[in-house]
Amino acid sequence: MGTLRAILKNPDDLYPLIKLKLAARHAEKQIPPEPHWGFCYLMLQKVSRSFALVIQQLPVELRDAVCIFYLVLRALDTVEDDTSIPTDVKVPILISFHQHVYDREWHFACGTKEYKVLMDQFHHVSTAFLELGKLYQQAIEDITMRMGAGMAKFICKEVETTDDYDEYCHYVAGLVGLGLSKLFHASGTEDLASDSLSNSMGLFLQKTNIIRDYLEDINEVPKCRMFWPREIWSKYVNKLEDLKYEENSVKAVQCLNDMVTNALSHVEDCLTYMFNLRDPAIFRFCAIPQVMAIGTLAMCYDNIEVFRGVVKMRRGLTAKVIDRTKTMADVYGAFFDFSCMLKSKVNNNDPNATKTLKRLDAILKTCRDSGTLNKRKSYIIRSEPNYSPVLIIVIFIILAIILAQLSGNRS
285 assigned to active site: yes
301 assigned to active site: no
63 assigned to active site: no
Angstrom distance (rounded) from CA 194 to CA 180: 12
Q: How far is CA 347 from CA 133, 218, 279, 296, 353, in A?
A: 52, 27, 40, 19, 7
In 3D space, the residue among 370, 348, 367 whose CA is nearest the CA of residue 357 turns out to be 348
168 assigned to active site: yes
The active-site residue out of 146, 225, 230, 324 is 225
Angstrom distance (rounded) from CA 184 to CA 190: 6
The active-site residue out of 74, 97, 184, 212 is 212
Q: How far is CA 99 from CA 76, 102, 126, in A?
A: 12, 6, 10
Count the neighbouring beta carbons within 10 Å of the beta carbon of residue 331.
26
Question: What's at 157, amino acid-wise?
Answer: K
The active-site residue out of 165, 171, 273, 285 is 285
The active-site residue out of 69, 165, 168, 336 is 168
- Catalytic residue IDs: 168, 212, 225, 285
